Structure 1
């Protein structure tokens, strides 16, 4: 199965944040840098684009030109100094939490910041990329099934940023949580997300569909079904342990196109949703039908044979 997209490796998690005196911006996480690993990945033909979570107070970054420029300078300098091929920027959810996206003027400033960062990165030559410039991949949340609101990233936002970013990492996972146990990424939700952001399948959708990196989860969830709920994410190792210990029957949910099983521990029933080759294949087929790429969260949390379908 072939996907017409670049393979991006998220190597380290950096955090752009304000210091305690709220007057100085600083980029944290540089201690995770491993020069040998970065070089090895790049020599294998992969691009290294670390994830940067913008945790700085949005009012300061967006409203003050000097702070905007400083934030961009910090990110670009980090790429240049460490030899990265760009960054994966995560900020939309943070801005939504602060109400930035409900204000038309602030929303426009937010989009302008992303564009400015993308253009700054594009102006720097990449040592290992065949595209000859640094890349910006922007993380976007999946649209809400109950209907769009101001906090959603919509098709107009995508069009506004399309010329300034290399792609959009679409977070089509975490559909359910401890308070509403269920599948991690229902197929209908994935289809709805793609349909909302892009034109109908066909030649028109190809213009921007190749910029979408469809989120695929390699982790699962173990939810408590008792009153009050609870539980959380599990990795492949946890999944295998539960199968061996409780020997449950794996069931297929037609509505979500995901496998799950039920088990009881100390009188408490649990529901476990974890990806399988079948559920992954269905989602990869959907991505291929749209001409989209993939964004996996995250490779180390899955099972080795998941790569058989990639």
Structure 2
């Protein structure tokens, strides 16, 4: 899909790397995934290749130890240089939330400082395109869930603090519902709330962060969920192939949920009722329109999980 539709995709981010603690050292795992020919073909077609790096290392190692912090940055920059990448997509906020980093103001500031330092190091390094292009850093951020921001949320002040050091923010506006609360993957009202929270009200001249809307890649899911509604609760993520299978096997009636702007259907199997939420051209078009209204880009999770004709609306 990446090669077939590369003309429509500015950035491709294969999920290849994890930066982990190994005793008192750090190790960047995943370089065995590197596919030189694939990367070259995508770059030849005009797409930038920025593999995802998940920061799994213990926060104490990366944030409190300057030597290891510098090592972490060097490992990432060196891998980009060695493999000819155009940069990386860094995911660390969710891990820091689990470790309690974001509940401590001093540690939180150190965490933001780490992202800044990595961004500066990337920007001082030329990409393989030319000496006029630097390595790029896209930072993954969670979407706010509540009206009032919590300590673990990424807020507008955080965005402003990092805006000069990163090249974009991948906003995870999906996974809204789960096994305990079956429902849509990305209700439109939640998407709007997330953008308003991060960028302030539309058209607000007083907003200092609204001008950064072009740095947001609004998350759009190409996967869906099959929720078990009876006999307890449960859920399975589904891809386009699964969706087609359900349509053929159960011949369900698709229903449009006005509140979330998503399609869903109900089916029964062996006495158990299920609800399936999966993207459609209509739900995707609504979200693309929202991105256009705000002047954001989009980030898709992930292009191999959708239906081929999803690319028609991009």
Answer yes or no: same fold by TM over 0.5.
Answer: yes
CA drift at 1:146: 4.6
From 260, 281, 288, the counterpart of 1:256: 260
Q: 2:18 aligns with which of 6, 15, 20?
A: 15
Q: 1:307 to 1:6 in 2, by over 3 A?
A: closer
Q: CA shift at 1:43, angstroms?
A: 0.5
Match of 2:230 in 1: 226
Distance (Å, rounded) in 1 between the aligned partners of 2:131 and 2:265: 45
Matched ranges for 1:88-167 at <5 A: 88-128=89-129, 132-167=133-168
1:263 match: secondary structure: strand
Deviation at 1:128, TM superposition (A): 2.1
Contact 1:47 1:128 (C-alpha < 8 Å) held by counterparts:
no
Alpha-carbon distance, 1:192 to partner: 0.1
Check whether the contact 2:81–2:128 (CA below 8 A) recurs between aligned residues: no
Q: Normalized against structure 1, the TM-score is what?
A: 0.95
SS in 2 for 1:215: strand
- Match runs of 1:23-34 below 5 Å: 23-34=24-35
Q: Check 1:216–1:130 CA distance in 2 against 1; reply closer, same or farther (3 A cut).
A: farther
Partner of 2:175: 174
Question: For 1:241-289, what per-residue CA distance to the aligned partner results, in whole angstroms no more than 9, with x for missing partners?
Answer: 0000000000000110000000000000000000000000000000000
Change (3 A) 1:241 1:129: farther
CA shift digits 1:72-107 (9 cap, x unpaired): 000000000000000000000000111100100000
Ranked by relative contact order (alpha carbons within 8 Å, sequence separation 6 or more), the top structure is 1
Decide whether the 8 Å contact of 2:116 with 2:162 is kept in 1: yes
Alignment partner of 1:242 is 2:246: yes
Deviation at 1:147, TM superposition (A): 2.6
- 2:5 is aligned to none
Q: Displacement of 1:200 after TM fit?
A: 2.4
Q: Which runs of 5+ in 2 are unaligned?
A: 1-7
Q: Would you identify which runs of 4 or more consecutive aligned residues in structure 1 move more than 4 Å?
A: 203-206
Give the equivalent residue in structure 1 for 2:66.
65
Provide the aligned C-alpha RMSD in A. Answer: 1.5
The alpha-carbon distance between structure 1 residues 186 and 290, as it changes in their structure 2 partners (threshold 3 A), is same
Q: 1:277 aligns with which of 281, 284, 288?
A: 281
